[in-house]
């Protein structure tokens, strides 16, 4: 019953006029971010952190944190909606979790059923959003109460699990993912030591005493990195856009998609809760499951409505599910939630079990705003689908200068130093080079965010145990978390080795 009371309080926060405006702006920008190929939710959220900081500067710190996170979360789940538009109309995924939607969505568009495909994607996304939010309300407080029993040793092991989970599943190469994780952890050590006050890796540059500004790194890697990629590769939106006919789906299409939407929502939510799994994996799993369950699997890939309904429901449910480990345990479940976590920490709001006790207005205001945001998205997406389709045609020559301007002014406004602008450009170049050579960027950001917390909790645990490292293995919860982290890394590695040995034996 207390969860319902807190949720009502959350709605009172979310329904304040300025928060309604932030929610609307978030989902509107998020849909546009999803529609524009190449930007994606990570770049979109990173790009808008400095904008929200400027927009909320007149509010008190608690209100500023709530309003900013409402807008940024709106961008996150709004981008999941928008990603389906380019997949269906242009056969070009707006972001990675919409790749599966292209298989049947574009085929439907070529058959003159683009309107139905877009409408089912919007309805599926709405239902999935509601399912994941109801689960979030039911699970948030029990999970945070369990996590309240955690000490420094348990927190250290929990964060190691978070790193292992995201790093183990990011990109095509596990080695590259681990290299990026370690690089992120190394970057997090720059600045003054929080215990001894000794300067580490600052090279007498006073700007580095406070450490690397998270915002500068995130905007540089994601937003500016994408700009350099678009300029150097001369990317253009040259694809032929399919015509949108009738937007309202038929009764038969609604009936056919009801089962896939329900199953995709549930599967997507549980996959989203797992740190590192993410929306892309959820959409693939959902599509495969529907194909297995279907009485006519041969229709998949040729324009069946289930092939759109299932993955679109799954990727939206996964984005809601990923909020659970972030809010209750302080572990980001994906690259985008790692950036959201960094944004919360910027406002002195620590995600984790104490969030619901110390900042209930932020936690429950965010959850309530996600209910409202999902309704806004359905209202926006159904009638305005033709308008959003026009965004695809935005020439790159107008889009790129706008992204550069927002990046530079936003980063400069935080600390008002030109050093941050030079750092932004350096990380933009680095982001481009890493992406070009298939190095995943999400583990780097995660290492940067979690690094200081891992170090602080390890030191606190070792101080309490007089330097005995066995403290991490003697506490049952800590031991279980470390075992899970080890298995998360070891199982895929062993399976990969077994796969190679099978190939070798077949060749022989």
Per-residue DSSP letters for 111-125? TT-HHHHHHHHHHHH
Are 388 and 32 within 8 A, CB to CB?
A: yes
The H or E element that residue 200 is part of is strand 199-200
Whether the pLDDT of residue 78 is over 70: the answer is: yes
Whether the pLDDT of residue 198 is over 80: the answer is: yes
Average pLDDT estimate for 385-414: 73
Q: Is the pTM of this model over 0.85?
A: no
Whether the pLDDT of residue 377 is over 90: the answer is: no
3-state secondary structure of 295: coil
* DSSP code at position 37: T
CB-hemisphere CA count at 13 Å for 242? 27
Q: Which CA distances in Å does 133 have to 130, 239, 269, 314?
A: 5, 36, 9, 13
> 479: pLDDT confidence band, cut at 50, 70 and 90?
very high
User: What are the extents of the domains in the chain?
Assistant: 3-497
Looking at 53-57, 254-258, 375-379, which range is the least confident one? 53-57
| Euclidean distance between CA atoms 140 and 85, whole angstroms | 32
Classify the phi-psi angles of 395: left when phi > 0, otherwise alpha if psi is within -120 to 50, otherwise beta.
Answer: beta
- In 3D space, the residue among 176, 178, 172 whose CA is nearest the CA of residue 96 turns out to be 172
Average of per-residue pLDDT values in the chain: 80
Whether the pLDDT of residue 358 is over 80: the answer is: yes
Q: What is the pLDDT of residue 131?
A: 87
Average pLDDT estimate for 228-250: 67
Q: Which CA distances in Å does 193 have to 200, 210, 320, 448?
A: 7, 10, 36, 15
> 425: pLDDT confidence band, cut at 50, 70 and 90?
very high
Average pLDDT estimate for 163-184: 76
Are 104 and 301 within 8 A, CB to CB?
A: yes
> 45: pLDDT confidence band, cut at 50, 70 and 90?
confident
């Amino acid at each position: 019953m207390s969860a319902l009371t807190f949720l009502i309080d959350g709605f009172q926060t979310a329904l304040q006029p300025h928060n309604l405006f932030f929610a609307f702006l978030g989902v509107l920008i998020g849909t546009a971010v999803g529609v524009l190929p190449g930007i994606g939710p990570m770049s979109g959220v990173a790009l808008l952190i400095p904008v929200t900081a400027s927009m909320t500067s007149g509010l008190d710190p608690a209100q500023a944190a709530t309003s900013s996170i409402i807008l940024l979360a709106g961008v996150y789940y709004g981008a999941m909606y928008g990603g389906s538009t380019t997949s269906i109309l242009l056969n070009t995924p707006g972001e990675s979790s919409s790749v599966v939607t292209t298989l049947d969505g574009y085929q439907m568009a070529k058959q003159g059923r683009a309107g139905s495909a877009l409408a089912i994607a919007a309805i599926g996304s709405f239902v999935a959003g509601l399912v994941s939010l109801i689960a979030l309300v039911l699970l948030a407080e029990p999970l945070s109460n369990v996590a309240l029993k955690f000490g420094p040793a348990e927190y250290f092991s929990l964060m190691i699990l978070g790193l292992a989970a995201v790093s183990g599943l990011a990109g095509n190469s596990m080695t590259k993912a681990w290299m990026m994780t370690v690089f992120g952890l190394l970057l997090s050590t720059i600045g003054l030591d929080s215990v001894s006050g000794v300067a580490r890796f600052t090279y007498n540059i006073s700007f580095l005493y406070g450490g690397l500004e998270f915002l500068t790194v995130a905007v540089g890697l994601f937003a500016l990195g994408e700009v350099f990629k678009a300029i150097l590769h001369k990317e253009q939106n040259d694809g032929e856009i399919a015509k949108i006919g009738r937007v309202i789906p038929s009764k038969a299409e609604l009936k056919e998609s009801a089962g896939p939407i329900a199953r995709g929502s549930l599967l997507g939510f549980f996959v989203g809760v797992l740190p590192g799994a993410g929306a892309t994996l959820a959409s693939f799993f959902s599509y495969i499951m529907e194909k297995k369950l279907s009485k006519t699997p041969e229709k998949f890939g040729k324009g069946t409505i289930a092939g759109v309904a299932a993955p679109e429901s799954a990727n939206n449910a996964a984005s809601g599910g990923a909020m659970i480990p972030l809010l209750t345990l302080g572990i980001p479940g994906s690259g985008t939630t790692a950036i959201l976590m960094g944004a919360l920490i910027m406002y002195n709001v620590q995600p984790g079990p104490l969030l619901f006790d110390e900042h209930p207005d932020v936690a429950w205001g965010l959850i309530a705003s996600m209910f409202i945001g999902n309704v806004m998205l359905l209202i926006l997406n159904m009638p305005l689908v033709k308008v959003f389709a026009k965004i695809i045609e935005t020439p790159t020559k107008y889009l790129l200068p706008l992204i550069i301007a927002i990046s530079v002014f936003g980063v400069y406004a935080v600390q008002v130093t030109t050093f941050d602008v030079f750092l932004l450009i350096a990380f933009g170049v680095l982001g481009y080079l890493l992406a070009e050579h298939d190095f995943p960027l999400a583990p780097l950001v995660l290492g940067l965010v979690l690094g200081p917390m891992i170090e602080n909790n390890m030191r606190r645990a070792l101080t309490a145990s007089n330097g005995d490292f066995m403290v991490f293995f003697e506490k049952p919860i800590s031991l279980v978390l470390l075992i899970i982290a080890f298995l998360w890394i070891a199982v895929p590695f062993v399976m990969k080795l077994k796969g190679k040995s099978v190939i070798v034996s077949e060749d022989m």
